[in-house]
Amino acid sequence: MTGFSSETARGAGAGPVDGRWFDAEAGPLVRPYAMTGGRTKPGPSGVRFDLIALVVVEPDGLDAAAESLLGPEHRALLALCRSETQSVAELSADADLPVGVVRVLLGDLLEAGHVRVSRPVPPAQLPDERILREVIEGLRAL
């Protein structure tokens, strides 16, 4: 049900380092925003990550040493993005973290230059007709 990624799972290398206690009834005893140091909004860049904004890892973003300095949740998100370009919604589901928490963590990664984030189509501006036709044909072919 919960499906923590391997990076954040108990005993998977990270061990007790991330200091979480689990209880089958209560769920994680860590309040969600403890993972973000109490921050509830992404950093100064003021980016608002849409649920379908796509997150891509910068290939030369960081080396192993730099990555080891990141928290387990940051690393978990990076690992998920490396396997495949992911939307914010998918990252939230796969990492089993609330969207708000994922947004703060992604803000950190963005500011540090570890990831790039695509802008979704702005409101009131539909993709062009060619794309819509492609979508219709793609749906028919499913």
Q: How far is CA 44 from CA 4, 11, 59, 98, in A?
A: 29, 34, 24, 21
Residue 119's region, left for phi above 0, alpha for psi from -120 to 50, else beta, is: beta
Tokens representing 10?
A: 């108990």
Q: Binding to another protein by residue 129, rule CB under 8 A?
A: yes
Three-state secondary structure call for residue 57: strand
The span from the CA of 38 to the CA of 94, in Å, is 22
For residues 22 to 61, the per-residue mask of contacts with another protein, x marking binding by CB under 8 A and - elsewhere, is ---------xxx------x---------xxxxx-x-----
In the complex, the smallest distance separating the C-beta of residue 141 from another protein, rounded to whole angstroms, is 9
In the complex, the smallest distance separating the C-beta of residue 68 from another protein, rounded to whole angstroms, is 27
Q: Binding to another protein by residue 12, rule CB under 8 A?
A: no
Q: Binding to another protein by residue 99, rule CB under 8 A?
A: yes
Q: Binding to another protein by residue 8, rule CB under 8 A?
A: no
In the complex, the smallest distance separating the C-beta of residue 63 from another protein, rounded to whole angstroms, is 22
